[in-house]
Amino acid sequence: MTSDRSISLGEAIREGLLQASQRDSSVIHFAEGVDDPLAVFGTLKGFGDKIGHERMIEMPISENALTGVAIGVALSGKRPVISFQRVEFAMLALEQIANNAAKFHYVSNGQHNIPLVMRLIVGRGWGQGPEHSQSLEGMFAQFPGLKVIMPSLPEDAKGMIIAAVNDNNPVLVIEHRWNHYAVGNVPTEYYSKDIVGPKKIRNGDAVTLVATSYMTLECLRVADALSSVGVSVDLFDLRVLRPLDLEPIVQSVKKTGKLLTVDTGYRKYGIGAEIVSSIVEICFNFLKLAPIRLGLPDHPTPSSAGLIKNYYIDSIKILESLNTLIKLDRSSFEGVKKNIFNERKDIPIDVPDPFFKGPF
C-alpha cells in the first residue's frame, strides 16, 4: 500500500472519515457547524451530500449534553464522531468524557461498549491567545478507559482515524491545527492503522528523540538537518498516549543511552514526565546522561506576537537541547543551526510552516 499522491493531513483525516462513514452506515457525525460551508476546517466537507445529511447532526452550543448524547447513541449501536473546533470546548464535557465515556465498559462489566470518536483540535498562532490554543492531552491521558491519540503525519492520520472509528472504545483524537497543513503521501484506498505504540520515523544511534503531534514535525527537521553532518537519531512519533506502549522507546534507549522528549503541551506534569520516568525505571543502567524534556513554559499562552516569541518549542531549541546530549563540534552545530534557520527564514512566528511537506 504505497502511494505517490500527496495530500495534507487535514485532507487525509477527511478522506479517512469519509471512507469509514461510507463503509459503515452506523457512523454519524456531530459538530457545531457539522454541515456548514467551512465544515470543521474542511475536514467534513461535502459529507452531507455523500452520506446523507441526516447522518450529520448539528450540535447546539451545548458541549456537555451533546457529548452525553453521543455517548448515548454509542451505547445504542451507532459510531458517533464528534468534532470540536477547539480542544478547550471539551472542558465543558469533561464529566461525560471521564466518567461515562471512559468508564462505561468497565463499570458495566463489559456489557456496554462506547465506540465514540472525539476529535479535539489544538489551536496555535495568529494571536489565538490563552483560551484557544491549549494542549490538554496530558489531562485526557490520565483517564483509563479512554484511548488518546495524536496523529502527526498524513498517512498515519488517515489510517488511525479509520481505526478510531472502528474501535469499540472511546478514542480522543487530538489534532494539532498546524499538523493539518503538513503534506505527505497518502494511499487513496481505505486502510486502517492500529492504535498502538509509537512509530519510529527516523533511524539512528546518537540519541532517542520522542515527540508528540506538531513537535514531531519540528523534530523531523532537526533529525534531517543532523544527517547532513553524519549524525543519525532514533526519532519516534509517540502517536498513542493511551494506552501507552513504550517498548520500542525502551529498545532504542538501550541502544543510544540518551533520551530527549518534546511535548506539544506544558513541560510540567506533561507527557514527557511519564515517558522519562518510565524509561529511567527500565533503562537506568543504559542511560549515559540524564534524559531531557522539552515543553511549554509554565504560563498561559499570550496573544501578542511580541509575547510568544520564545514560547513555543521549535527546531532550534530542540537542536540546542539535543546538542547537550550529543555534543557536536562547534562548526557542525553552527552549520546545522544555520540550515534550520534558513528553512524557516522570515516566516512569522504565528503562522504555520510550509516546510512540512512529505514524504516523511
Partner 1 sequence: MAIIMKLEYEKSIELYACMQRIRLVEEAISTRYVEQEMRCPVHLSIGQEAAAAGVCLALETRDKVFSTHRSHAHYLSKGGDLRKMLAEIYGKATGCIGGRGGSMHIMDLDVNMVASIPIVGSCIPLAVGSALADSLDGRDNVSIAYLGDASVEEGVFHESANFAKLRDLPVLFVCENNLYSVYTQLHERQPDRPITALAEAHGIPTYHCDGNNVEEVYRSTLNALKNARSNKGPSFLLLDTYRWLEHCGPNFDNDIGYRTEAEFRIWKNRDPVILYKKNLLKKGILTEEDTVELKCEIQKEITAAFDFAKNSPYPDHSTAINNVYA
The residue among 318, 249, 321, 237 whose CA lies nearest residue 278 is: 249
Choose among a copy of itself, partner 1, ligand TPP, none what residue 142 binds, the Cβ cut-off being 5 to 8 Å by kind.
a copy of itself
Helix/strand/coil (H/E/C) assignment for every residue in 78-90 = CEEEEEECCHHHH
Q: Is 132 one of the annotated active-site residues of the chain?
A: yes
Length of the chain: 360
Dmax (CA) of the chain: 63
Distance CA 321, CA 309 (A): 18
Q: Is 137 one of the annotated active-site residues of the chain?
A: no
Residue whose C-beta lies closest to ligand TPP: 89
278 to each of 155, 219, 290, how far by Cα in Å?
A: 29, 21, 13
**At which residue does the C-alpha cell 518534546 appear?**
262
Per-residue contact flags (x/-) with partner 1 for residues 238 to 277, judged by CB under 8 A: -----x----------------------------------
Binding footprint of ligand TPP on the chain (CB under 6 A): 32, 61, 63, 89, 92
Question: 1, 110, 189, 331: which one contacts partner 1 (CB under 8 A)?
Answer: 110
Q: Would strands 240-242 and 199-202 be described as parallel, antiparallel, or unpaired?
A: unpaired
Which triple of cell numbers denotes residue 305? 506576537
Choose among partner 1, ligand TPP, a copy of itself, none what residue 111 binds, the Cβ cut-off being 5 to 8 Å by kind.
partner 1
In angstroms, what is the minimal distance from the CB of 98 to a copy of itself? 6
Binding footprint of a copy of itself on the chain (CB under 8 A): 64, 88, 91-92, 94-95, 98-99, 102-103, 106-107, 129-131, 136, 138-139, 141-142, 144-145, 244, 265-266, 268-274, 276-278, 280-282, 284, 287, 289-293, 298-300
73 lines the binding site for partner 1 (CB under 8 A): yes
Query: Choosing from 11, 15, 32, 63, which is the catalytic residue?
Result: 63
Choose among a copy of itself, partner 1, ligand TPP, none what residue 51 binds, the Cβ cut-off being 5 to 8 Å by kind.
none
Query: Choosing from 29, 132, 176, 180, which is the catalytic residue?
Result: 132
Choose among ligand TPP, a copy of itself, partner 1, none what residue 291 binds, the Cβ cut-off being 5 to 8 Å by kind.
a copy of itself
What one-character DSSP code corresponds to residue 357? B
Residues 141-200 within binding reach of partner 1 (CB under 8 A)? 144-145, 147, 168-169
307 lines the binding site for partner 1 (CB under 8 A): yes
Specify the 3-state DSSP secondary structure of 264. strand
In terms of C-beta density within 10 A (0-12 exposed, 13-18 middle, 19 or more buried), how is residue 148 classed? buried
* Share of the chain residues as helix, strand and coil, in percent rounded to the nearest 5: 40, 20, 40
Active site positions, annotated: 63, 132
